[in-house]
Amino acid sequence: METLIKVDINKSPEEQADVLHNRWHPDIPMVAMVKPGAEFRIECIDWTGGQIGNNDSANDVRDVDLTKVHYLSGPVGVEGAEPGDLLVVDILDVGVLPDSAWGFNGLFAFENGGGFLTDHFPEAKKSCWDFHGIYTSSRHIPNVQFAGVMHPGLIGCLPSHELLAEWNKREAELVATDPERVPPLAALPYEDTALMGRLTGDAAAKAAKEGARTVPPREHGGNCDIKDLTKGSKVYFPVYVDGAGLSMGDIHFSQGDGEISFCGAIEMAGYLDLRVSLIKGGVAKYGIKNPVFKPSPLSPKYEDYLIFEGISVDEKGKQYYLDAHVSYKQACLNAIEYMKKFGYSGEQAYAILGTAPVQGHISGIVDIPNACATLWLPTGIFDFDINPDAEGPKLLVDPGVSLASTS
Amino acid sequence: METLIKVDINKSPEEQADVLHNRWHPDIPMVAMVKPGAEFRIECIDWTGGQIGNNDSANDVRDVDLTKVHYLSGPVGVEGAEPGDLLVVDILDVGVLPDSAWGFNGLFAFENGGGFLTDHFPEAKKSCWDFHGIYTSSRHIPNVQFAGVMHPGLIGCLPSHELLAEWNKREAELVATDPERVPPLAALPYEDTALMGRLTGDAAAKAAKEGARTVPPREHGGNCDIKDLTKGSKVYFPVYVDGAGLSMGDIHFSQGDGEISFCGAIEMAGYLDLRVSLIKGGVAKYGIKNPVFKPSPLSPKYEDYLIFEGISVDEKGKQYYLDAHVSYKQACLNAIEYMKKFGYSGEQAYAILGTAPVQGHISGIVDIPNACATLWLPTGIFDFDINPDAEGPKLLVDPGVSLASTS
Amino acid sequence: METLIKVDINKSPEEQADVLHNRWHPDIPMVAMVKPGAEFRIECIDWTGGQIGNNDSANDVRDVDLTKVHYLSGPVGVEGAEPGDLLVVDILDVGVLPDSAWGFNGLFAFENGGGFLTDHFPEAKKSCWDFHGIYTSSRHIPNVQFAGVMHPGLIGCLPSHELLAEWNKREAELVATDPERVPPLAALPYEDTALMGRLTGDAAAKAAKEGARTVPPREHGGNCDIKDLTKGSKVYFPVYVDGAGLSMGDIHFSQGDGEISFCGAIEMAGYLDLRVSLIKGGVAKYGIKNPVFKPSPLSPKYEDYLIFEGISVDEKGKQYYLDAHVSYKQACLNAIEYMKKFGYSGEQAYAILGTAPVQGHISGIVDIPNACATLWLPTGIFDFDINPDAEGPKLLVDPGVSLASTS
Amino acid sequence: METLIKVDINKSPEEQADVLHNRWHPDIPMVAMVKPGAEFRIECIDWTGGQIGNNDSANDVRDVDLTKVHYLSGPVGVEGAEPGDLLVVDILDVGVLPDSAWGFNGLFAFENGGGFLTDHFPEAKKSCWDFHGIYTSSRHIPNVQFAGVMHPGLIGCLPSHELLAEWNKREAELVATDPERVPPLAALPYEDTALMGRLTGDAAAKAAKEGARTVPPREHGGNCDIKDLTKGSKVYFPVYVDGAGLSMGDIHFSQGDGEISFCGAIEMAGYLDLRVSLIKGGVAKYGIKNPVFKPSPLSPKYEDYLIFEGISVDEKGKQYYLDAHVSYKQACLNAIEYMKKFGYSGEQAYAILGTAPVQGHISGIVDIPNACATLWLPTGIFDFDINPDAEGPKLLVDPGVSLASTS
C-alpha cells in the first residue's frame, strides 16, 4: 500500500505544513489526488503535535496550547468527487508508527478547557500507556489491561464556503450569549496559530481568519471521537467541495464512549490505511446530513459489563429537564465512586472511563423530567473480579501508584 | 415457580387494588413476603391498564388518561431487608400472558405528553404488533421483523419518606420555573387517580396526596425503560424501607434505547420470574446511588448496524452547548429521513426507532460546543438490504400500509 | 398460536398413538394438515416417554428400554408440499410444559449403549436439573449454572419408501460386519416396540417391520442433536413424500456440541412453536442433500472459553489416522482431568460437558496422521474462576455432592 | 518491542539456519534466551520457505518439496523453565512483513499429499490473496472479501528425548500397517532435508535422523492449524526441556476450521509479538496433556451463517460408524454443491472453505451409526445474498475467473 502522506514525529507541525493543517477551510489545496477505488496509507502526528512527553509529570498537559492542536493530515482529493456526492471511506487498518508504541491520556486543568467532570477533577493529570500488541496498560493505573479499538478521533471532508459561514455564524452567536465564560462556549477562528497547509500568502492569511477550529464534530464529521470508526469500519461522508478533500488525525489507541476526560482517549501518532469510492449524488439519494457509518466485524468483544445508571438530577440534587448530559455525568460519577471502593483514586477511575472501551447509552429520554443514561464498564479489563458480592469489596488495587501530577 | 401475584387483564386496575398500585409511597403495605433466595412469578397488566385495543384506530392512544397509568404489581417484601442494603434481583424470565400475544406502540399527541420528536409528529398514531415466538411484526409497518428483548420498563423499591420528600421538592421546583408549560416539566402528585394498593382510609388519602408519580426514573430505578433489563440480567437495587418493597410493571416486548416515541416500546401485559437476595449494607460498601446491573448472556445478537450521527445543532440550525439530547434527536431525525427514502412514512420510521432494538450511544461529550450522539439501526430487522450503494435506494417497502390514525 | 398437538406427560406414549410415533416410515398418516405460512404449537413428551424420574437414583437410567424411545409428535402435513421441495421451518419458540420445569441427564451403562466415554464411565448415573427461567442448575453438580439453549434433538420429514430402503440396507450392511457387537453398530428395525401413530392393522404391522429407528441423524435431519436449532433458528428440510410429514421430539433444555454423554443433554418434555413455508423444487435448485439451517439471533453469549486440544492418539498412546472422533474424545478427557483438579468427580465433569453449552470444533483435519479437535468450555458457567494461574487450582467445588447412582 | 528473530524472505531457509529449523528435536540449541515477562517479536518466513510465487500458475504448488517445509523460527529459551512447567504465551500481535502483503492458498495434487477432498479435487490449483488492511480478497475467486484471523499454524515447545521417541514409535507403527500407501499414513523422520538450526556436525546428523517431522499436531501443540490462536489469545504450553524452547511458523492470514484444503489457509510470511511467563509445575497442577488456550477478545464477528449438516455416510452411500471425519467431509461437499449453484466452480468453493473463517462443529457424536458434523459458512463474506429463497439461486458470481492451474 502506498504511503500518500508521511509525517516526522520529531519535527514540528509547522515544519510539515505541506501535508498538515489545523483549521477547516475550503481553500486549502489538496496534498494529493487519488482515483475512486484507490487504497493508500496516511500517517498522522498526535493531536498535540508532540507537546506531551512519555514521562511522569503533567506539566505538559497543564501547559498545552489548545489553539495549536488537531494537526490534520491532508486534504486528500478524490477525482470526480463533487458537492452532493457521498465519499465512501473504508478504514482498512489503523496502526502505530515505528518507535512510537505509546500513548497518553490527560485530564485537562479547569483553566485549560477542563473535561466532562472538571468540577470534580480540576487539576491537570496525565497517564502514559504502553502498547503490547493489541493490548495496552499504564504504569500510572494498576490492574487494568485491555484491547485497543484504534480509530481516528477526527476525520471529514472540507466544508464549502457556505457551510463554513454557517458554522462560524452559529458558533459566534452561541459565544455571544456569554462571551466572558471560562472555558468558552465555543472555539472561534483564531488566525495566530492557524496552519493552513499549502495555502500561502494573502490567501492563507485570509483563510486563517475564517478557518473553522477543529474542536467540535460538525455536519462533515470532524472531531466526532467515535471509537467505533475503527479498522474494518466503513464511513459515508458528505462531499461539499470538488475533490472532497478528506483530512484526518487525532488517532486514539482506545477510548470510551464520550471521550469523557477531554484528552480522554489514549492519544497517539499513527497511520490509517484507507480505500475511497463515491456514491454520486448520494447526499440527496439517501437524505444524508451527517456522516453515516457501519461498524467493524473486528471490534473487541467484551460481553460482561457492570452498568451504572444516571438520571438528570445533578450531584447537588438539582433537577434538570430531560438532560442526557447530566444523566451521563451522574452515571460516570457513580462508576467512579464504585471503582474507588476497590482502591482506585478518583482520578484513576476517571481516566479508566476515558480510555477503556466503556459504552455510554442513552437509555431513557422521554420520561419527564429525568433522562436516564447508562455507563457500561467492561469487567474484563480488570485483573480482579470487580462485581459486587455479599462480602463487599476488597482493596484489590495495587497501592502506591498515582497519575502523573504537575510540579 | 410459584405465582406470587396474579392479574386479570379483563378487570380494571381499580378492581385489583390488592396487588396493584400506581404511585410510589413508603406506606403501601407489602402484598407478600419472601425469603432471600426465593424464586417467584409476578404478573403485570400493560402500562395503560387496558386502555389500548388491538385495532386500527388511534383514538384510544389519543384519549389515554396519563394520570391512570403504570399500574405496578407489588410491593413484594423481602425478609431481613433494611435501608442501606442492596436487593439483588435476578430477572430469570420475562414472558407473555396466555391469550395476550400482542402489543402496541403509540405516538402520543402533542397535547397528551407527546414524545421525543413530537414537534415533527404531533398527532396520535398507533401500531399493533403480533408476537411469533421470539419474533414480532406489525400489520401497520411492513417489511420489518425482529427478536424481542422483553423487559420491565419499570421496576424498583419503595422510597423512604425522606427520599420521597426530596423527589417531590425538586420536581416541584422544576415545575415552578414554568408552571403553565404544555406538556408540563414534570408530573407532580395527583391524588384523584392514585391507586394506593392495600392502603386504605385516611392513610391512603394522605399518601395519595404525596405519592410520587411513576413517570420518571429516579434513584431507586423506577421507570428507567432500559431494554437491557431483560431475562437473564441481574440488578442491584438500593433498599430504603424495611422489607425493600419491590414493585414492577410496564412490560415491553421490545424497545430501542431511549424509548423515543414515549409510548415507544411494544407495550404488553406479561410476567416476570425473579429471584431475590440481599447484600447487607451494600449501598455504603459499594458507594451505590442508582441501581447497578449486569446484562443478560441471552440478548439478541444484531452485529450489523447502520449508524447515524447527530450533533447538538437543531434542525433549524440553532447551536446548543454540549447537549446530548439535541444530538440524539438529530441522529434519530437523520435515521428517519434515511428510512423514508426506501418507502416508509416518517411516522413508521419513528415507530421503528421506538420499537426495534436500536442502540443510542453518547459518542462525544467534550468537544465544545457540539455533543455527538449516534443511533445504531440494526440492518437485520428489515427483509431487504437497507445499506447504501452506488445505485441509490429503491422503494422496497410494501406500499399502502400506514400507522393507525385517529378518526 | 394454535396448539396442533397436545400431549399428556402422565399418560404412556402408547395411549397417545394418535399423535405420537417412534419409527420413521412414509405410510404413517398425517396428524394434521396446515397451509404454508401457518404458525402452530406442537407439544412433545421427553425422549424416554416418562421412564426417568426426578429423584436421586439412577436405576431408571440403567433400566431404560432403548427400543421404546424418541416418541415423536407428528407427522404434520403441509399442503402443497411435494418430493423435491424444501420445507422451511422457523423455530419461533421452544418452551417448557407447565408443571414440568425440570430435566435430566443420564450417563448410560456400557451394557445399555454407553456414551462417548463409556470406557471411562461404564456405570449408569443421573443428574437432575431444575429450571430457573432461562437458567438451569443441578442438585447433583455444584457451582454450575448456565443459560439454556432449548432445542429439539430430533426433527425431520418422513422418508420416501426409496430412502427408507436405502437406510435399512446400508445400516444392515454395517451391522453385518460385526453382528454380535455390544453395543451394536446400528439400531435396526424392531417391530415389537414400534409405535406407528395412526397407522393400524396390517399396514401398521408391515410398516413396523421396516420402520427406521430414530437413533441416528440421516439425510432428512432426524436425531441431529444440534444445539443450535434453538428458538429463532430457521431450517430448510428436504421433502420426500407428499405433504412433507414433519415430526419432532427429544427436546433438550441445553446441550453441548456432540451430546457427548449420549443421554447427554438436559432432557425434557416441552413445546415447539413453528412456522412453515415451502421452496418449490428447492432440493435441486440449491443442490441440497442434508438439511441446511441458519442460527438464531438469540443464542447465549459466552465469549470467554478455556479451550482444550485433542489429537488422534488415544489414551493408551495408540496412533490413529486423521480420526476426529478420537481427537474430540481426547479433548473431552483433557477437559475432564482439568475440572477434576478443582474438585469435581470425573462423572460430574463428564456430565458438565454433555449439558453445558460447550463447543466442539474440528480444528485440523489434514495434517497426517493427527486430526486436531478442540473442546470449548465456557468459563462463565462456573461460579468460581476456573482459569489457570501461577498458584495452581484450589478445591473450589463444594464437596459432598455426587451424581445419582444405581442401588 | 525488540525483534528477537529477523528473517529475510529473499534468502533461502538454509541460509538462515542460525534462526530456523524444520524438525522437532530436543538438542536444537536455543537461538536466544528471555526472562519470564519478556515481550519480543519473532519474524517467520512462509511455510514453504518461498517456494510459491504471486502469479497465475499452479506449477509451484504442484512441485512443492514437502520434506522442505514448515521452517520454524526459534527455538526461544525461557529462563527458569523446566520440564513439567506450563509456558504461558500471550500472542500480543500477528502481522504482515513489509513488502509482503499477499498470501496464497493451494489445493495440493493427489500425488503430493492431496487434501481433505482430494478424491474430488485431485489437481494442483492455487489462489493468490491480496491484503487490504484487515481484509483480504483474491483475483482468483470473485465476490468474496473477509477480515482475516491471523495466527501461527505451528507453534510449540521442543519435545524431550522420551516424548520424541514415543512420537517416532507410534507413527512408525501406523505407517507399518500400510507402508506403500500414497499418500503415506504419516511423515516419518527424513534426514536429507532436515534443517537443524544451530546444531552442527555429528550431533546435527544424528538429530536429523530422529527429528520429528513438523506435519502433525502433537502433545506439545505443533501444527495445530487452529485459527483461534490469533492476536489477543493466550496459550498454555507444556514444557519438556530446560528452557522450554518455543518455536513457531506457518503463519496464516486466515483459515477455516480444519484447514480443509491442506495448504488450506492463506499462507504468508509475517511476525508474532509474544509475551511469555511460567506456571511452575503447571502440568501436574492442572492435569495438562495438550496445550490449553483462551480465545482473543478481538476475533472477527460474523454472526450470520448458513450451516450445512453432514453425516457419516459417504458420497457413495457407504455407512460408517460414528466417523466425524466422514461427516465433516460430507458437510463440506454439501456446502460446495450449494455454492456452485451461485456460479462458483467446485474448486473455488473448496478454496473458500479453506481460507474463509468457516467453523466446523462436531454436532452429534453418539447416535449410532451416524456422527453429525456441521460446516458454518459466514454469509457476510459474499458481496451478494447467498441465503435460500423461494425463487431459487441466481448466477451472481462474476463469470470468467478461475483458480490458477498447472501448465
The bridge status of strand D72-78 relative to strand D32-34 is: parallel
Give the pLDDT band (50/70/90) at residue D27.
Answer: very high
- Write out pLDDT tens, residues B359-381: 999 988 888 899 999 999 999 99
Residue of chain B whose Cα is closest to the Cα of C149: B298
Give the pLDDT band (50/70/90) at residue B66.
Answer: confident
Give me D44's grid cell: 517467520
Residue C304 in contact with partner chain A when CB distance is under 8 A: yes
| CA of B20 vs chain A CAs: smallest distance (Å) | 21
Look over chain A and give the mean of its residue pLDDT values, rounded to a whole number.
Answer: 94
C68: amino acid identity, one letter: K
Contacts of residue C101 in chain B, CB cutoff 8 Å?
1
CB contact under 8 A, C301 and B302: no
Give the pLDDT band (50/70/90) at residue B114.
Answer: confident
| CA of A378 vs chain C CAs: smallest distance (Å) | 13
Nearest to D147 among A132, A275, A297 (CB): A297
CB contact under 8 A, A304 and C380: yes
- Write out pLDDT tens, residues D82-104: 999 999 999 999 999 988 999 99
Over range A164-169, report the average pLDDT.
Answer: 97
pLDDT higher than threshold 80 for residue B262? no
| CA of C4 vs chain A CAs: smallest distance (Å) | 39
What's the pLDDT score for residue C66?
A: 83
Backbone φ and ψ for D256, nearest 5 degrees, come out as -95, 160
Residue C203 in contact with partner chain D when CB distance is under 8 A: no
Q: Which of A124, A95, A125, A127 is nearest to A109 (CA)?
A: A124
What's the pLDDT score for residue D298?
A: 85
- Write out pLDDT tens, residues A118-149: 889 999 999 999 999 999 999 999 999 999 99
Mapping DSSP to helix (H, G, I), strand (E, B) and coil, where does residue D60 land? helix
What's the pLDDT score for residue D363?
A: 85
Residue of chain C whose Cα is closest to the Cα of D321: C185
Residue B70 in contact with partner chain A when CB distance is under 8 A: no
Residues with Cβ within 8 Å of A39's Cβ and at least 6 positions away in sequence, in order, are A1, A2, A92, A273, A274, A275, D132
CB contact under 8 A, C385 and A380: no
The DSSP line for D154-205 is EEEEPPPHHHHHHHHHHHHHHHHTSTT-SS-SS----STT--BTT--HHHHH
What's the pLDDT score for residue A381?
A: 96
ipTM of this complex: 0.94
Give me A71's grid cell: 494537526
Rounded CA separation B196/B208 (Å):
7
Give the pLDDT band (50/70/90) at residue B347.
Answer: very high
Q: Which of D157, D160, D169 is nearest to D26 (CA)?
A: D160
Find residue C310's DSSP bridge partners: C373
Residue C387 in contact with partner chain A when CB distance is under 8 A: no
Contacts of residue A91 in chain D, CB cutoff 8 Å?
133
What's the pLDDT score for residue A299?
A: 81
What's the pLDDT score for residue C372?
A: 93
Contacts of residue B273 in chain C, CB cutoff 8 Å?
132-133
Rounded CA separation A133/A130 (Å):
10
pLDDT higher than threshold 90 for residue B261? no
Give the pLDDT band (50/70/90) at residue D265.
Answer: very high
Give me B97's grid cell: 400472558
Over range B262-266, report the average pLDDT.
Answer: 83
pLDDT higher than threshold 90 for residue A261? no
Give the pLDDT band (50/70/90) at residue A35.
Answer: very high
What's the pLDDT score for residue C374?
A: 95
Give kind and range of the element (H or E) at residue D127: strand D125-132
pLDDT higher than threshold 90 for residue A262? no
What's the pLDDT score for residue B148?
A: 93
Give the pLDDT band (50/70/90) at residue D7.
Answer: very high
Contacts of residue A300 in chain D, CB cutoff 8 Å?
297-298
For residues D11-44, one letter each, b for 16 or more C-beta atoms within 10 angstroms of the residue's C-beta and e for the rest, the string is eebeebbebbbbbbbbbbbbbeebebebbbbbbb
Rounded CA separation B222/B216 (Å):
7
Give the pLDDT band (50/70/90) at residue B85.
Answer: very high
Rounded CA separation A47/A38 (Å):
26
Nearest to C297 among B1, B147, B231 (CB): B147
To the nearest 10 degrees (0 to 180), the angle between helices D346-355 and D324-340 is 120
Q: Which of A407, A153, A374 is nearest to A264 (CA)?
A: A153
Over range B199-217, report the average pLDDT.
Answer: 96
pLDDT higher than threshold 90 for residue B258? no
What's the pLDDT score for residue D66?
A: 84
pLDDT higher than threshold 80 for residue B263? no
pLDDT higher than threshold 80 for residue A301? no
| CA of D146 vs chain A CAs: smallest distance (Å) | 9
Look over chain B and give the mean of its residue pLDDT values, rounded to a whole number.
Answer: 94
Give the pLDDT band (50/70/90) at residue A367.
Answer: confident
Q: How far is CA D265 from CA B9, C364, D60, D260, in A?
A: 59, 11, 16, 8
CA count, 13 A, side-chain hemisphere, C81: 31
Contacts of residue A273 in chain D, CB cutoff 8 Å?
132-133
Rounded CA separation D405/D57 (Å):
5
Contacts of residue A1 in chain D, CB cutoff 8 Å?
101, 132
Rounded CA separation C163/D9 (Å):
56
What's the pLDDT score for residue C112?
A: 80
pLDDT higher than threshold 90 for residue B301? no
pLDDT beneath 70, residues of chain C = none
Over range A304-328, report the average pLDDT.
Answer: 93
Rounded CA separation B31/B44 (Å):
14
Which range of A155-164, A315-324, C353-362 scores highest in mean pLDDT? It is A155-164
- Write out pLDDT tens, residues A195-220: 999 999 999 999 999 999 999 999 99
Over range D144-162, report the average pLDDT.
Answer: 96
CB B85 within 8 A of CB B278: yes
Range with lowest mean pLDDT among A366-370, C234-238, D54-58:
A366-370
Contacts of residue A233 in chain D, CB cutoff 8 Å?
none
Domains with residue ranges and CATH for chain D: 2-294 (2.60.120.580), 305-381 (3.10.28)
CB B308 within 8 A of CB B331: yes
Residue B298 in contact with partner chain C when CB distance is under 8 A: yes
Range with lowest mean pLDDT among A74-78, B344-348, C20-24, C369-373:
C369-373
pTM for the whole thing? 0.94
